[in-house]
Structure 1
Amino acid sequence: MSLYLLIKLSWVVGALTGVLPIGKGFGWAEWVVLNTVTVGMAVIGIALALALVRPWGMRIPGALVAFCSWVGSGFLVSVLPFVLSRAFLGGGSQEGGGGADPAMPVWEGVLVQFSFVGMGLGLVLAVPGYLRRRWPDAFIGRVDDGPRTVPPWAAVVSAAVGLVWIYWAVGGKVGIAHPAERNTDWYLLAAAWGFWALAGAAAIWVVAGARPARWPRGLPLAFGWVGSGSLFAWSAWKLPLMLYVAMTDPADVTQPESLPVVVAVHLCAVVAGAAMMRTLVRTPGRSSATAA
């Protein structure tokens, strides 16, 4: 993430001094604010990476580390299949995080992708190890070790959101206001978000219903973690960007989706993702249930 941090810092400084161009669809102030926010996110990512592997990371409040790990996994682990597919199929000009500049040099794009992929793979390795060290009881045993509860409404909402994204990924036009604006990246991202929404919904259903009974708890917890994080993180990021585009109506940016439809989808995704994570952390395993 240090590479990403340096690139974003150069964009902020370049915009402030007038030596670098402003990104497509943004004014000067909005471009500086957006990239300052991503600078902060990169700093948090670097601190998280260290906290997950250094001894002092176990002394930080667990909720803070878990939240940052969950959001980071939702952002980056969930799009690893997208990056792989994009490498084979070739993507359009739309960066996954939104607000990309089409004039970005190739080497900058490579370093940004290297940062995303490297951090995503690092989270795949480091987050499970950290969570098992800090909360070992949550990951032992099988699915039926915990109490059986009614599957939450959030799983149903997540499944509905996932089906909408899959429908769009296969070429569906309902809810699409400008079909010509869709490109390869748009289809691949819709497919990735749809997959994780459906996978997360299925995982929550398994954990809450304690079926199939003989499955190890770690499997649905992993898919529920990334699936709910993907719903929350990406929609919480995309929603204000889309509202900004709708309010400013820049001449050089047109969103493919109908604004009311996509706002409703992202709002449902944010709420469902947060509720699904709450279900995960409140569903104890055998040891914690016995202790309670």
Structure 2
Amino acid sequence: MIRWDRVGQCAAYGAALALAPYLLIKVSWVAGSLAGLLPVGAGFGKAEWVVLNSATIGMAGIGIAVALALVRPWGMRIPGAPFVFCAWVGTGFLVPVLPYAVFSSFPGPADDGRETGTDPGPSMPDWEAALVQFGCVGMGLGLALALPAYLRRRWPDAFAGRLGRGGRETSGAPPWRVVVGVTVGLVWLYWAVGGTVAVARPGERDFAWSTLSGLLGFWALVASGATWAVLGGRPAGVPRWGPMVLGWLGSGSLFAWSGWKLPFTLYLAVAQPADATLPEDLALAAVLHLAAVGAGAAMLRALLRARKPSRGPRRAHG
């Protein structure tokens, strides 16, 4: 375990360093647009552009703080609830879509992110785009390696044991959060494979939009299945850490990505800019994102409540 802790320590510092250029680039975008030196993104006025990128500056700052908290002594003393929330959102944003982020860093059909709603930006030089992509990939990989080591140190009983005994929901019907997660995931997968129902602008679909929809749909199903397994204690004998980790990542993906895309979708529905569109029907997309946010939050709450209690008295860290 000492070796794993060392790997997590290096990964955490690496994640913080990888995201630092992204933070500086976003600060330069805001400062440059306010000074009239840099253009704003397609479909945005200056005020909307500054608000959008100020939000990403805050997110990057929190991400760097979370990465450092995973290895610094003060990280074991900070309140557990806000830390868990920030780490959950960060891993939900980055880890489930690492294949997409890596693939889209190469020239090809995934380069054009205008309609994905992920992070529309002004035209960037190649070196700047590479740093932005490197920051996201580096942070995702760093969290994936460093967070488990931290959780093992702070809450060693959270992932202990096996499924079977102690299932809180043993009825045959899946809970509402699982049903909602499966429904949202199936719709996204349907769109990803070329379905056209509720796609208002089929011609606007591109490879990046379809790939991201497919990944998010896949993780919605993973989150639903893992949450149901933990709550029901099935299949018996499976180590709890597996479905707990998958439920953590999948529910975080539901909450983080839909929480990010919901205001963007609402903005497009209200402002209706001519140079920024989404392929899907905006009203349905907003409903799906709202449902995903609620289901993701409910899944995390259920997973935390299903955490295996400690076998003996132990000093709580938060």
CA distance in 2, matches of 1:59, 1:41: 22
8 Å contact from structure 1 (residues 93, 102) kept in 2: no
8 Å contact from structure 1 (residues 166, 190) kept in 2: yes
Call closer, same or farther: CA 1:130–1:255 in 2, change over 3 Å: same
8 Å contact from structure 1 (residues 5, 39) kept in 2: yes
Provide TM-score, normalisation by structure 1. Answer: 0.95
Q: Match of 2:142?
A: 122
Call closer, same or farther: CA 1:44–1:94 in 2, change over 3 Å: same
Call closer, same or farther: CA 1:153–1:74 in 2, change over 3 Å: same
8 Å contact from structure 1 (residues 138, 288) kept in 2: no
2:36 is aligned with 1:18: yes
The alpha carbon displacement at 1:247 in A equals 1.1
Q: Match of 2:66?
A: 48
Pick aligned residue for 2:49 from 21, 27, 31: 31
8 Å contact from structure 2 (residues 105, 133) kept in 1: no
Per-residue Cα deviation, 1:37-61 (whole angstroms, up to 9, x for no partner): 1111111111111001111100000
The alpha carbon displacement at 1:275 in A equals 0.4
8 Å contact from structure 1 (residues 75, 234) kept in 2: yes
Q: Output the amino acid matched with 2:123.
A: A
Call closer, same or farther: CA 1:87–1:21 in 2, change over 3 Å: closer
8 Å contact from structure 2 (residues 269, 282) kept in 1: yes
SS at match of 1:137: coil
2:237 is aligned with 1:237: no
Pick aligned residue for 2:207 from 184, 191, 202: 184
SS at match of 1:53: coil
**Structure with more helix by fraction:** 1
Q: Match of 1:202?
A: 225
Q: Output the amino acid matched with 1:202.
A: G
CA distance in 2, matches of 1:80, 1:99: 15
Provide TM-score, normalisation by structure 2. Answer: 0.87
Per-residue Cα deviation, 1:136-173 (whole angstroms, up to 9, x for no partner): 11111111243342442101110111100110000000
8 Å contact from structure 1 (residues 76, 120) kept in 2: yes
Mapping for residues 243-262 of structure 1, pairs under 5 Å: 243-262=266-285
Identity of aligned pairs, percent?
58
Q: Match of 1:216?
A: 239
Q: Match of 1:139?
A: 159
CA RMSD, aligned part only? 1.9
Q: Which runs of 5+ in 1 are unaligned?
A: none
Q: Output the amino acid matched with 1:53.
A: V
SS at match of 1:174: coil
CA distance in 1, matches of 2:211, 2:274: 25
Q: Which runs of 5+ in 2 are unaligned?
A: 1-18
8 Å contact from structure 2 (residues 39, 122) kept in 1: no
